[in-house]
Amino acid sequence: MQTTRPSSSEAERLAELGSVLLATADADLRLIFLNRAWERVLGWLPEELAGTSLIDLVHPEDRHPLVRAVAEAGPMELRIDGRVSARDGEWRWMSWELRYEDGRWCVAAQDTTDRHERLADAQRVAALGSFELDVATGSMWWSDQLYAIYGVDAARFEPTLEAVIAFMDPDERARVEAAYARVLNGAGQEEVVDVRIV
């Protein structure tokens, strides 16, 4: 079987057919070209978003990797998960892949909202929570169930490492801080710490 590279018109047809959001953007992540999947998945017409900053479409809690990448302004590849605003005002979870080279970003994203909702349902049933921490910026994301476990209102409580440690039994804080330091210093790939919280 002979394989060939698709022509530009074939590549355009393939890009318009799928459910993967594709775009190009300038160095500041202002969108230039968007395929029709943006309309099918998020409700936005591509022409409505042309010239818009991708950063402005992403949920404020999920923007920091994009802001940092734009500031670094060098050749790079970036993979992140984050929420993006749909035209109806809802937030959809997307898995993003971005590549920056020659002064331009190439962007691809897939809708992962269903997967995140299944995870949230499973955490509610199991009474488990999860979090993500960006060690470079200190910003932290909590699952809905983690707010419930800690008994705090997601609209009023800002999760930070310091705030999490403050919830812990004072006798156990030093052990958690030491485990965190080992992970940051590369001494351990994984740390498991059982703690009591107040």
pLDDT, tens digit (0-9, with 9 covering 90-100), for 29-86: 999 999 999 999 999 999 999 999 999 999 988 888 888 888 887 788 888 888 899 9
The torsion defined by the Cα of 141, 119, 96 and 81, in degrees rounded to 10, comes to 10
Decide if 135 contacts 184 (C-beta within 8 A): yes
More confident residue, 109 or 197: 109
Residue 129 is encoded by which pair of tokens? 């929570």
Q: Is the pTM of this model over 0.75?
A: no
- pLDDT of 6 reads 40
Q: Is 105 helix (H, G, I), strand (E, B) or coil?
A: strand
Give the residues across from 53 on adjacent strands.
30
Cβ atoms within 10 Å, residue 142? 22
Q: How far apart are CA 31 and CA 105, in angstroms?
A: 9
The torsion defined by the Cα of 27, 29, 34 and 37, in degrees rounded to 10, comes to 140
Question: For 3-25, what is the mean pLDDT?
Answer: 64
Q: Identify which of 78, 85, 94, 64 has the alpha carbon closest to the alpha carbon of residue 25.
A: 78
